[in-house]
């Protein structure tokens, strides 16, 4: 028998998932997830993990609860680690208690991982504290969707109508009319403030402030629907003072990143921190060249090189992984000069215990050339581990000054087999290499790039775009991920000002 973890995925912002839940995501054999669990969390799952979507979107279910229970049990009997990943917190109107009870009855070991509920996080991202001294000292969470088949409501509407604190309704959009009428019938002031927060904590968050009397009509006018949190009470007046999420510089901007999945996390997180709605659409796949006799020979004679030049994170990672696989370690590079094309590559190299001695001011091959131009190259031997196809700017320069440069191809770039769907028209598509540009055009065509803004990491990528008749809206002044994000932020701040 395996073990089941019933975990809360949080309200939507992947940064709000707990450390413990993330660790289970990484080691789970099976992940059974709901509509409200952000699918980006699945990117952290191991490659061989089985992921099963079971819906649970309002009244539209891929599976009924009884079927989900049986599915969890069946997977647990396969002696596997099963994660039942639920939006928000599994014990706040999430039916996690029912699933735990079912597992207990069937003798399945389980563990509960609490999650950040949207009941508190969505109002926080809307600038609304649920409690505030001298305004509200009490908060009540109420389901807006009671179990079907109940003859009478278990909600004490009279008490709620006279309640002096904050009311928070979850899953209440379909029953908004009933919530309103019940509260008004029991004497709630029609002018009471109401705030509806759709997709709380997400870049597509939408917030409406109204009154109890007008909220139903205002929601229709604003075309708002589930998932949403409904807040009722005087604390809503603090929103104007405490608003922060919607003021982030890239809030709501839909930005497409075209790097491989494993390399997209850094830029995606940086953009998300500024409020962007990031979609990862990989247009290249890194495929290591295996076996690689040239690399093995270079490693075995590593002390014969004057310098090793790393021009990408991928090259550094593959080189050092093979170095360690062959029984060597960072000490074998003692006395060898190490070059890194930019901070990101230098960081990758440093993760293996090596500090790059030379990092150019320009994060391009030309930048490496500028560094080399200040050295005596005659008779010196360099190793250049890189992609199968790349520019020969560096080896040509070294050899023109009497040095030797041995190129070792470590990996190829291919078009991914899986083509992700572009769900919505983006505000910007981001390219970090010429390969991402060419492959994007092959996979998606050029039409979308003519309708939106295009960002480039540097002049080489920009030239590829312009040669293909694609207008470059943004080019990073500093040719790395940090510089690219700064340029994107500057562009949108200028266009919106």
Q: 164 an active-site residue? A: no
Report in angstroms the alpha-carbon separations of 247 from 139, 251, 276, 352, 439.
26, 7, 11, 39, 35
Report in angstroms the alpha-carbon separations of 283 from 148, 430, 432.
46, 11, 11
**Closest by Cα among 466, 475, 442, 436 to 280:** 436
Q: 46 an active-site residue? A: no
| Active-site pick, 56, 188, 253, 274 | 56
Question: Which strands sit side by side in the sheet containing 193-198, from one edge to the other?
Answer: 139-143, 166-170, 228-232, 193-198, 206-211
CB crowding 34-55: b at 16 or more within 10 Å, else e: bbbbbebbbebbeeebeebebe
The answer to whether residues 427 and 255 touch, using CB atoms and an 8 Å cutoff, is yes
Q: 202 an active-site residue? A: no
Beta strand 307-310 with 254-257 is: unpaired
| Active-site pick, 13, 86, 171, 202 | 171
The answer to whether residues 431 and 258 touch, using CB atoms and an 8 Å cutoff, is yes
| Active-site pick, 34, 277, 427, 480 | 34
Catalytic residues: 34, 56, 171
């Amino acid at each position: 028998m395996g073990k089941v973890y019933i975990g809360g995925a949080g309200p939507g912002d992947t940064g709000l998932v707990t450390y413990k839940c993330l660790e289970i995501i990484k080691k789970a054999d099976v992940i059974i997830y709901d509509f409200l669990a952000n699918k980006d969390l699945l990117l952290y799952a191991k490659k061989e993990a089985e992921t099963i979507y079971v819906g649970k979107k309002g009244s539209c279910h891929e599976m009924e609860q009884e079927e989900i229970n049986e599915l969890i049990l069946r997977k647990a009997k396969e002696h596997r680690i099963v994660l039942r990943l639920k939006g928000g917190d599994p014990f706040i109107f999430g039916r996690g208690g029912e699933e735990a009870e079912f597992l207990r009855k069937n003798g399945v070991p389980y563990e509960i991982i609490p999650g950040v509920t949207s009941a508190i996080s969505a109002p926080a991202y809307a600038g609304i504290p649920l409690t505030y001294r001298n305004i509200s000292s009490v908060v009540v969470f109420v389901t807006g969707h009671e179990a079907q088949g109940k003859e009478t409501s278990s909600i004490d509407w009279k008490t709620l109508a006279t309640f002096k604190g904050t009311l928070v309704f979850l899953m209440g959009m379909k029953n908004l009319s009933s919530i309103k009428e019940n509260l008004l019938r029991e004497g709630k002031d029609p002018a009471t403030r109401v705030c509806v927060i759709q997709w709380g904590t997400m870049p597509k968050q939408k917030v409406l402030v109204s009154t109890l009397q007008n909220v139903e009509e205002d929601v229709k006018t604003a075309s708002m629907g589930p998932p949403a949190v409904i807040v009722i009470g005087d604390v809503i007046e603090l929103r104007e003072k405490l608003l922060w999420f919607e003021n982030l510089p890239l809030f709501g901007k839909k930005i497409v990143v075209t790097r491989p999945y494993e390399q997209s996390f850094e830029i995606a997180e940086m953009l998300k921190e500024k409020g962007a709605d990031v979609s990862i659409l990989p247009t290249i796949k890194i495929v290591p060249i295996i076996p690689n006799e040239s690399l093995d020979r270079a490693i075995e004679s590593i002390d014969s090189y004057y310098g090793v030049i790393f021009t990408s994170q991928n090259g550094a990672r593959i080189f050092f992984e093979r170095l360690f696989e062959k029984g060597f370690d960072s000490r074998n590079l003692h006395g060898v000069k190490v070059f890194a094309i930019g901070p990101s590559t230098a960081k990758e190299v440093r993760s293996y215990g090596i500090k790059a001695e030379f990092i150019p001011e320009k994060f391009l091959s030309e930048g490496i050339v500028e560094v080399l131009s200040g050295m005596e190259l005659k008779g010196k031997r360099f190793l250049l581990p890189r992609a199968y196809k790349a520019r020969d700017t560096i080896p040509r320069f070294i050899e023109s000054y009497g040095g030797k440069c041995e190129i070792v191809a470590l990996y190829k770039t291919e078009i991914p087999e899986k083509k992700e769907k572009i769900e919505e028209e983006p505000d910007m598509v981001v390219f970090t290499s010429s390969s991402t540009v060419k492959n994007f055009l092959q996979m998606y065509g050029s039409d979308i790039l003519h309708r939106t803004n295009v960002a480039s990491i540097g002049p080489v990528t920009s030239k590829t775009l312009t040669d293909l008749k694609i207008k470059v809206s943004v080019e990073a002044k500093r040719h790395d991920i940090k510089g690219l994000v700064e340029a994107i932020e500057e562009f949108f701040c200028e266009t919106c000002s």
